Amino acid sequence: MAIKTLKIKDLRNIKEASFSDLNQINVIFGKNASGKTSVLEAIYLLGLAKSFRSQSHIALINRDAEELVIHATLQDQTGIGVRKTLPSKSLYKINGKPAQSAADLAQNLPLQLINSDSFHLLSGGPGLRRSYLDKGVFHVEHGFLPTWRRAQKALKQRNTMLKRGRISYSELHPWDVELIENTEIIHGLRQLYIETLKQELSLLTREFANFGEALTIDYFAGWDQVNMSFEEALERAFRRDSVSGFSTVGPHRADIKIKIGGFPAIDVLSRGQQKTLVAMMQVAQGTGVYRATGQKPVFLVDDIGAELDAANGVKLLSMLADTGLQLFITAINPQDANLEGLSVNNPGWFHVEHGRVARV
């Protein structure tokens, strides 16, 4: 859902900023330390109830203030707000009523962030790719979250019993029923979503990839799903699990393997190509969610010029612009966001200087 207005008060170096009539594409430009990333951080807080760059509550609030306030109005008039007060209080509201959970916020304002940390999707551990996968499944299938929570709970109980030791498989098995049942649902939903993702990606690679069409995405369920059911996998892993004191197979071990010509993408792609591929995966997720649910995710792209040459910068921008979804892009110079020649009507340009924002 596109954001129409945004107000920020006392977030980092931004004392007060107001954005009205936001466009499909919004470029926020200015020098280093002017406050560009802070604008994206404000939007991110409204959609995910956390920052993408620090865990610290205090660090977010302007040094001379006691509290920060952020408010956005979406295209359908939904109002979302957050107030964070020293020392540690946070209050999130949707249409004036306290939000029940971060999932509520995410459902109103699905976001895709592309920044220099996005690379970790390729280079980091499976947990990041699992989160990426599950974020997509969460948006496409609302039943996913409660199922996932039940599986987590069952897994925790199972691990407690394994840690205690001296338990036989027949004693443990009855406790696995809940885990197996929920894992099968999770696995099915993840499989379905991976197919959506692959379709979206193949459309994008055909048009925008500079690494040919050799990209493959393979889903790993967290056990050898090709040769056995999860129940069998649990049984076979029992001896190992009881020695290690935790479950070595399961939905908490899922991953996606991203390869180019059969090699891990991280081993063969240049930094610029990695950035393009990660952006492609984010775009595929955004358009996949949009096509499946009609919900329109908002893209936050921090420092569009970084790591990309001019040609790839334009490619990335046109890929994003073609989605028709709303974008917030930061750049040091306006020319880094080269929108010429792209089918974009009337982008919004915002100059940030010492925490002050002016539409230009």
Ligand X SMILES: Nc1ncnc2c1ncn2[C@@H]1O[C@H](COP(=O)(O)OP(=O)(O)OP(=O)(O)O)[C@@H](O)[C@H]1O
Q: How many residues bind ligand X (CB under 6 A)?
A: 15
User: Please, are residues 151 and 179 in contact by the beta-carbon 8 Å criterion?
Assistant: yes
Within positions 21 to 60, which residues make up the interface with ligand X, using CB under 6 A? 30, 32-38, 59
Cβ(11)–Cβ(62) under 8 Å?
Answer: yes
When the beta carbons of 26 and 34 are compared against ligand X, the nearer one is 34
* Residue whose CB is less far from ligand X, 11 or 256: 11
Q: Does residue 51 bind Mg ion (CB under 5 A)?
A: no
Shortest approach of ligand X to residue 309 CB, angstroms?
A: 19
Q: Is 34 in the site for Mg ion (CB under 5 A)?
A: no
Nearer to ligand X, 45 or 155 (CB): 45
* Residue nearer to ligand X on the CB measure, 194 or 332: 332
What, of Mg ion, ligand X, none, does residue 32 touch, CB below 5 to 8 Å by kind? ligand X
DSSP labels, 240-290 = HHHHHTS-SSSGGG-EEEEEETTEEHHHH--HHHHHHHHHHHHHHHHHHHH
R_g (Cα) of the chain, nearest Å? 22
- Considering the complex, what minimum distance in angstroms separates the CB of residue 221 from ligand X? 39
| Cα–Cα distance, 229 to 103 (Å, whole number) | 31
Name which of 200, 220, 202, 232 is nearest 323 in CA terms: 200
Mapped onto helix, strand or coil, the DSSP state of residue 42 is helix
Residue 69: strand, helix, or coil: strand
- Residue closer to ligand X by CB (options 128, 332) is 332
Asked if 12 interacts with ligand X (CB under 6 A), we say yes
Residue 63 binds ligand X (CB under 6 A): yes
Out of Mg ion, ligand X, none, what residue 47 binds, judged by CB under 5 to 8 A for its kind, is none
Distance CA 188, CA 192 (A): 6
Which residues make up the interface to Mg ion (CB under 5 A)? 37
Which residues make up the interface to ligand X (CB under 6 A)? 12-13, 30, 32-38, 59, 61-63, 332
